[in-house]
Amino acid sequence: MSHSHFWILNVFNFIFQNGLPFLLNFWISYLVFPFAHLIWLCECYDVLLFN
């Protein structure tokens, strides 16, 4: 096994040990919040543009 693949195993091991809360926290903080922020910015831009 090469060394470059070892960190992937560590990540999977960490996720399995900490379970779903860590995974949910990861998805919410890195995907949901930026996406919601992007939508909010677009809404504000539309309001400024069409008012």
Residue 2 DSSP class = -
- DSSP calls for 16-32: HHH-HHHHHHHHIIIII
Q: Which pLDDT belongs to residue 3?
A: 66
Q: What is the pTM of this model?
A: 0.35
Angle of helix 20-27 relative to helix 6-18, nearest 10 degrees? 110
* Phi-psi category of residue 31: left, alpha or beta, with phi > 0 → left and psi -120 to 50 → alpha: alpha
Per-block mean pLDDT, blocks of 10 residues, the chain (51 long): 73 77 77 83 83 65
The residues near 14 (Cβ < 8 Å, ≥ 6 apart) are 22
